Structure 1
Amino acid sequence: MTQRPFHRPVPLADLDSVGASDDPVSRSETSHATAALLLGDADGNRDEAATRRFIDLADDIGFELIAEMWSAAPAVSAPGALWRLYALRQWIRTAPRELSEMFSDGQRRIDRGIGYEEILAGVELPAGPDEVARAIDEILAGAFRGDVVIALLRAAAFVGICAEGTDDADTGTRLRRLSQDLTDAAVAHRRGGLD
């Protein structure tokens, strides 16, 4: 008889203490628990009531405070992956033209065998500032609906294409690192979930 592999339950988040503690351990635990509310486990199981409460809290205190808490998490973790998606979304909102130019230039430069096109299905081409912003909003919405692996891979592909489209070596290096972090997070989630 085959047994289903054990999955840890989604951790409970102390939503009342979000942003209230200066204790690094408490902040880390809350960071992971709040991220788990949005991402759920590897099967997409979530506590929907707690997730709704979290969204209400984010509306009340501002998502920026919660995202700041996630920023200290390792790249291959639930809060770390959400931080990277959030930061990418903010970058697109503040510099849409710059990113759309990088994306367009990257598309012209990449080897067509990389396979980014399949991952980015649904991104409007050519990608102008508005199209790029909509694409990232869809990626984030995908993560929050439980389609985490696809959302992370789409974000990684988008960033990878932008990395190929920049002439600045430092920016290219940072974007390649971000793309790899998002890919690694997707692989980790597929293999059993992000901690």
Structure 2
Amino acid sequence: MTREHPRPVLQPTASFDWIIGSDEPGAAHRIAQETSWALLDRVRAGADPTVVERVVGLASGDGIDDIAELWAGEGTHSLAGVLWRLYLLRRVVSADPEGSAELFRRGAAAAQTIDPVVAGAAEPVTPLSISELCDTILRGAFVGDVGDALDRAASYCQVMSLGSADLADTRDAHDDAHAAHLTTRALRYAGMAQELHAGARRWRDGTLA
């Protein structure tokens, strides 16, 4: 699953609600492919914990803008597309850890599947534990099995979708606009879960571009 690529040159994130499903074309597909595979290969080849943490930490700083410029327009047929979605999940939590923790708690309580277990958030679910969960998922793509990391992220998205929908139901009678916003977010999380599962399948069968 490795490829020869030149040294990656990382070149923002808008909000989660804007970028998922956006028509923004992003960077050229070829550059997105080259940089994503180069980054993955170089981190895996070095296995330096300091480098791994620096790569994971891109989601918390200005580096996310560079990643978005290159990868945000890529679909889940590509490594760039699925890695971007992992970075985006981490960025969303970084921007609102309290709200993310609330959505996960609500979603886990409403879930009738094993998704909360697969996602693997530490109990009790707090802003810190949900941030650490997203870090762990992202880190797993670089030091573990990419397919497993993507499946875990997909389960996380399923739980967040349920949590968003549950919170939307409680807001319906009080704030129609906010309820509609949460319903849209629930749909986007659900769509993202499907995309990440598809990316995991492609990784395992060797068709991820």
The answer to whether the 8 A contact 1:37-1:47 is kept is: no
> Structure 1 residues 66, 126: CA separation in 2 closer, same or farther (over 3 Å shift)?
same
Hey, what's the Cα distance between the residues in 2 that align with 1:26 and 1:176? 25
TM-score with structure 1 setting the length: 0.75
- Residues 56-71 of structure 1 mapped to structure 2, 5 A cutoff: 62-71=63-72
* 3-state SS of 1:127 partner: coil
What is the one-letter code of the residue matched to 2:34?
Answer: A
The answer to whether the 8 A contact 2:118-2:152 is kept is: yes
* 3-state SS of 1:165 partner: helix
Tell me which residue corresponds to 2:192: 178
Hey, what's the Cα distance between the residues in 1 that align with 2:127 and 2:208? 31
Displacement of 1:27: 3.2
> Structure 1 residues 13, 159: CA separation in 2 closer, same or farther (over 3 Å shift)?
same
Hey, what's the Cα distance between the residues in 1 that align with 2:4 and 2:207? 13
**Identity over aligned residues, as a percent?**
27
> Structure 1 residues 26, 173: CA separation in 2 closer, same or farther (over 3 Å shift)?
closer
Tell me which residue corresponds to 1:116: 115
Structure 1's consecutive aligned runs of 4 or more residues displaced over 4 angstroms after TM superposition are none
Hey, what's the Cα distance between the residues in 2 that align with 1:34 and 1:68? 12
Displacement of 1:129: 0.7
Greater Rg, structure 1 or structure 2? Answer: 1
Hey, what's the Cα distance between the residues in 2 that align with 1:127 and 1:47? 30
Structure 1 stretches lacking a partner, 5+ long = 1-6
- Residues 109-148 of structure 1 mapped to structure 2, 5 A cutoff: 109-111=110-112, 114-121=113-120, 123-148=121-146
> Structure 1 residues 118, 104: CA separation in 2 closer, same or farther (over 3 Å shift)?
closer
The structure with more helix, counted as a fraction of residues:
2
What is the one-letter code of the residue matched to 1:13?
Answer: P
The answer to whether the 8 A contact 1:160-1:179 is kept is: yes
The answer to whether the 8 A contact 1:39-1:146 is kept is: no
Hey, what's the Cα distance between the residues in 2 that align with 1:66 and 1:165? 28
Stretch deviating more after TM superposition (83-92 or 166-175): 166-175
Structure 2 stretches lacking a partner, 5+ long = 12-24, 169-181
- Residues 1-195 of structure 1 mapped to structure 2, 5 A cutoff: 10-13=3-6, 15=8, 18-19=10-11, 27-40=28-41, 48=45, 62-111=63-112, 114-121=113-120, 123-166=121-164, 167=168, 168-195=182-209
The CA RMSD measured in Å over matched residues stands at: 2.9
Q: How many residues align?
A: 171
